[in-house]
Structure formats: C-alpha cells, structure tokens
A = this chain, B = another copy of it.
C-alpha cells in the first residue's frame, strides 16, 4: 500500500469511528450489554476458525523467528479463548459507567450541579502480538460508550481478525453500528504513524506493548496518550516485616508469572531485616530457580551473581531479580524514586507508620503493603478486564478499565437563574 492510500484509508476509518461514537454516546446500556454477550457467544462458536487463523499467525511468527516468549503470547488455545469469553461476559456484567452521577451539589445561586460520566469519544489502541487484547480492548471501549480503532501487531493479524469478526457479530446482534469497533485492515506500519496524528478522529491513544512501541508513541503522537511505561516493580522488606508473609509475597511477586508487567524486578532488603533474618529471602528465590543479581553484602550469598549497575531499573520479565540492601524505608524510597517506573511497588512491614511513609512519599500508580505486586491487574482490582496499566498521571492511572475510558460533563439546572 502506498503512503497516500494508508492515509486515505485511515481517514475513512476515523470518520466512521467519529460517527459511531456520536451514536454510542447515548446508546441504551442494555444494548451494549447485549452486544457483549452476543460477542462472547460468537467467540465460543468460532473456536475452530480462530484456532485456524492463529495457526497461520504462528507459522508466520515461526518463519519470522519470533522468540519463544513472543510465540507464547501469540498462541491461542481453548483455554485462552475461554478466558477471552469470560472477559467479555465479565465486562458485560459490570455497571455501565456512562451517565453515572459522580458528584452533585447545590449553589447559593440556586443552581443544582451534577457531574456525570460521558464517553471519551474515539479510542485508538495500538498493541503488539497478543491477540486477546482485541477482545479486551474492544469490549471495554464499547462498554464505556467509545468507538475504538484497533491496530494489533502484524504477527497476530489473522487471529485478531477472527476475534474482531466475533465482536462485529455481537454489534450486529444488538443493532449497534459496525463502526463502533473497527480494526485496521493492513499490516502497513504507516497506519500506526497515521493514527498517532489523527487528532480530528481519535481522542486518546492507548499503546500496549514493549519499550519500542511506547517510545515511538511518546515521540510521535499528536493525539493524547495514556502512557504505559515498563513495570519495574519493587518489593521492599522492611525491618518490621513479618518473616512468613515476606517470604510468601517475595516468591509470588517474582515467580508466579515472570512475563507480566506486575512481576517484581527488584528486591530491596532493609539492613535491619537482614540483620534479623539473614539471607532467607534470597535463598528462597535461588531455591525457586531465580537468578539473583545481588549488590554489596548480598553478593556474598552463595548462588547469587554480582549485579551490574544497569540491573537496577531494568525490566527483566524473566526468572531474574536485582537485589540490594537499603537503610530503612527512606533508603527504599530513594532507590525507587531513582529507578522505578511509577508502576507498582510493595512494602512488607507490620509497622503502620513506616507503611504510611512509603504510601505518602512514593507516587507510583499502585502502592501495596503486604501483598504481591502480581495483583497489579484490572481483573484483580475488580474492573472485569483492563486495556492496560497506565503509568502516567494524566486522566487514567493504574489498571485502565471501562470507567477510566470516560470523561465527564456538568449538568446545571436553574429556574430562570441569572448571574448578578
């Protein structure tokens, strides 16, 4: 496709999305729900077609030499399709955010003011090779009354297409415009560049992918972006931690799944904890098969490897963790401020004052106490699904569910009320 053709195509998609958004913004909640349940139904019924499309993508990916981790993200099976179906149903069952009264108050002038939720308009989602994002993002945007333009990674082209067809079935069943959920029908990367510039047609871009994609989006986008940086998550074991809770949480935060953005990448141990309990957290990790890149005294622990400076502030997404001794909660705070990515950090302590300090002085999207960073997830937060985890501070932050895909407007009622 020539560059002009892509531009023309994307403008058409944008215009159709804009028109659908106007209709969606005042659609009856029951019809959106109906569309989501019907799409879930269609996904169940289309398993053979989806798996066949996915086989094509897997063959393409293998030929392209994708890493095993990438191939794993790309792969669909009955279990993963069932999880998508569950996600659609769960989003369908959520409360509809549009029209919700967020606040209301009266003024001495006699005015009654309500602040109510509205859709954002058109959302552009740019993601890499995880086909399930097609279902999650499509569902959340529809639920929140937004039209969406989906641009998945070229490796997942056929899988995303098959899933998108099911979402379209759902829209059709509920009598909603097909243009509510559009998918960019070309692998041409010029389409991404065009989306990033389409301020007339797209209200916000949600990038979901690795460093390269996020960097491109942040440097090129003219459309507002929900920033999604890496998840460089820290766990800090304070001197007043409960040993058994600490052991349990550290192991889970690192090893439950290493490839998700909520996985712990750095363990900070208070010198007081180390003096009291010794190497146990590190030896637990080693015993679980984790490579521990340790600094200072921790590097004396047999089985560890010495940390290099760039192991701190690094997202491994693997069975590797950086580890370091710090001086109390202030040492942990200073380290996290310097090396964190404002995603998720957890403190292990029984001391309320110390926990409060950690909560107040740090400003990550999610701060936890005595809990695994692996809970950084829209589903675990009760949002049904998530379109990603925002690490920026504008508009959305943390897990982005349907509610975070809304804006608001003020409805003001008087009785012939004029301003003096």
Contacts and interface: CB of A to CB of B under 8 A. Distances in A.
Nearest to A372: B418
Interface stretch (A160-168, A322-330, A363-371): A363-371
Given A224-B394, A359-B411, A370 B417 contact: yes
A370 B416 contact: yes
B370 A413 contact: yes
Contacts of A337: 22
A243 B211 CA distance: 61
B369 A419 contact: no
Interface string A355-382: 0000111011111111110110000111
Indicate the size class of the contact surface on chain A: 35 or more
B363 A414 contact: no
A118 B363 contact: yes
Given A242-B416, A256-B418, A360-B26, A411 B109 contact: no
A314 to B, nearest CB: 20
Given A26-B361, A371-B412, A375-B412, A397 B407 contact: yes
Interface stretch (A6-14, A169-177, A188-196, A245-253): A245-253
A401 interface: no
A389 to B, nearest CB: 11
Contacts of A249: 414, 416-418
Contacts of A371: 111, 412-414, 416-418
Most central of A245, A398, A414 by chain B CB within 10 Å = A414
Contacts of A415: 245, 370
A121 interface: yes
Contact of A394 (B246, B251, B395, B409): B395
A26 B360 CA distance: 6
A398 B105 CA distance: 16
A113 interface: yes
B419 A375 contact: yes
A204 interface: yes
A391 to B, nearest CB: 11
A393 B203 contact: yes
Given A372-B419, A395-B395, A412 B366 contact: yes
Contacts of A26: 360-361
B407 A393 contact: yes
A51 B418 CA distance: 33
Contacts of A246: 416
A308 interface: no
Given A367-B411, A369-B414, A393-B407, 18 more contacts: A26-B360, A107-B381, A109-B375, A113-B381, A242-B416, A244-B416, A246-B416, A249-B416, A252-B418, A364-B409, A366-B409, A366-B412, A367-B412, A370-B414, A371-B414, A371-B417, A372-B417, A395-B395
